[in-house]
Structure 1
Amino acid sequence: MRIEIFQDLVCPWCRIGKKNLMDALQNFTAEPVEIHYRAYQLDPYTPAEGVDFETLMRTKFRADEDKLQAMLQQVTQAGQASGLHFDFSKVAKMPNTLKAHQLIAIAPNEVKKELVDELFKAYFEDGKDIGDVDFLLEVAGRLGMDPQQTRLRLVAKEGLEGVEDDLEFASQAGVTGVPFFVVNRKYALTGAQPATTFLQALEQISAESKNEA
């Protein structure tokens, strides 16, 4: 089974949805699963240096302080239910995530999941700027990727074409929100579904695929 996860690293529901999917896969025994991380940008026009998080959120959702805090609290509680911690008091910036997606694209397959998890955690728990190349290289280095070689690969735009292909595919497919999951290039699942819902859907898809074979 092939599962493609369209996500953006500044999307809290993407983090929650991915965690719920991974929890579901712990109990999915019908067949082996391949995970492919696909790039999506909530706002591709975010400047390279990023923008102020609170200002952007207030403008985007037309929210005053009370409404914004209520929204963030809802996300925090949803995260807790999935075993994830969010600390929005540390999130100062909304970064441009293009370089982070490029890093994921060129990362060895065996570290992609851990890299995605580390970047989500760095942003939502530690308030790190995941649009900053030096920080991205620091994370890459911790996962065994050579920082100097990785920097050269990023500068050479390696992996960028694949990221742009993902963004184009999502646009052509009418994907307007993430997380968005494509199973076996045929079935679509949307949103941060509970793990039980993911498991039921995957078991149904697996059964249907075997019946069609």
Structure 2
Amino acid sequence: MKEVEIHIDFSCPFSNMGGERFIQYLESKDLPLSTVRFRSVQLNPDKDNENINFILNMSNKFNKSVEETIKIYENITQRASELGLKFDAEKIVDVNSKNAHIGLQYVTMFGKQAEYFRRMMSARFERGEDYSKISFIENVIKDLGLDSKDFSSKLEELTEKVSEDIKLAQERNIRGVPTFVQDGKILPLESSSTFEEFDNIIK
């Protein structure tokens, strides 16, 4: 199978579900996880990390009560559980995702993007870790058997790669995540697409 790119943001629960579903699809076909190439997108690039209460922020953003917002995320949590994912909206720390993307750019050079994706998404949505901290990302990189000091020495270069991905998403006119792309062509797939749909659409 040719490489499939998925434009994602680590702050997005649907990116989590879409990326996980595709990883599980690759595993079901005994295909290498390096077949997927995650591309960086930031839905809220100006997030200042001042107000980090996720439920309250989402409530304000969508002009809904806290109770209504919790119910919305209960529905998302149920959908995620079908993939074996655990969401705990009340634990989520609402912080800027840029540094998580910087880490993604580094691990991609070593074919570890799927493993990193899973660890970072679990850190955010299940355990409520502050994944914006470089020290946290260094530990994830170390756990993947990579050189965290080498990562830290390349932050400027990796930040530029994040910007290049974001520019690519703009050029492709990508308006939401996850967005699946193959051979530069946007595929009619989404976070809830089935394995059968992957089979029918992906080359």
**Common fold, TM-score beyond 0.5?**
yes
1:65-110 Cα shifts (integer Å, max 9, x gaps): 221011110110001111211112211x211111111111112433
Look up the match of 1:131: 132
Large movers: runs of 4+ above 6 Å? none
Matched, 1:196 2:195: yes
> What is the aligned partner in structure 2 of residue 180 from structure 1?
179
Equivalent pair of 1:9/1:15 in contact (CA under 8 Å)? yes
Query: How many angstroms apart in 2 are the aligned matches of 1:123 and 1:151?
Result: 21
* Alpha-carbon distance, 1:171 to partner: 2.0
Structure 1 unaligned runs (5+)? Answer: 207-213
State the percentage of identical aligned residues. Answer: 25
Which structure has more relative contact order (CA 8 Å, sep 6+)? It is 1
- 1:192 Cα deviation (Å)? 0.5
Q: Find the structure with the greater CA-based Rg.
A: 1
**Which amino acid is the alignment partner of residue 98 of structure 2?**
L
Alignment deviations for residues 121-159 of structure 1 (CA, whole Å, 9 cap, x no partner): 0111110011111111111111122223322222xx122
- Paired position in structure 2 for 1:165: 164
Q: Counterparts of 2:14 and 2:73 in 1: how far apart (Å)?
A: 11
CA contact (8 A) 1:5 1:38 kept: yes
Unmatched tracts of structure 2, length 5 or more: none
Contact 2:59 2:65 (8 Å CA) reproduced:
yes
SS of the residue aligned with 1:181?
strand
For 2:143, the equivalent position in structure 1 comes to 142
The normalised TM-score by structure 1 is 0.84
Per the alignment, residue 211 of structure 1 pairs with none
In 2, Cα distance between equivalents of 1:182 and 1:43:
22
In the alignment, structure 1 residue 103 sits paired with structure 2 residue 95: no
- RMSD in angstroms over aligned alpha carbons? 2.3
Q: Aligned partners of 1:187 and 1:6: how far apart in 2?
A: 10
**Bigger mean CA offset, 138-147 vs 192-201:** 192-201
Partners of 1:21 and 1:169 lie apart in 2 by 21
Structure 1 counterpart of 2:58: 57
2:4 is matched with which residue?
Answer: 3
Residue correspondence of structure 1 range 116-127 to structure 2 within 5 A: 116-127=117-128
> 1:28 Cα deviation (Å)?
4.7
Contact 1:27 1:199 in 2 (8 A): no
The change in CA–CA distance for 1:114 and 1:33 in structure 2 (over 3 A counts) is: closer
Which one-letter code corresponds to 2:194 in the other structure?
A
Residue identity opposite 2:63 in structure 1? R
Q: Is the 8 A contact 1:28 1:199 kept in 2?
A: no
SS state at 1:45 partner: coil
Query: Do the aligned partners of residues 146 and 174 (structure 1) sit closer, same or farther apart at CA in structure 2, a change above 3 Å counting?
Result: same
Equivalents in 2 of 1:50, 1:124: separation in Å?
17
TM-score normalised to structure 2 length = 0.88
Stretch of structure 1 that moved more, 135-144 or 192-201:
192-201
Letter in 2 for 1:103: G
Task: State whether residues 8 and 177 of structure 2, in contact with CA within 8 Å, keep that contact through their aligned partners in structure 1.
Answer: yes
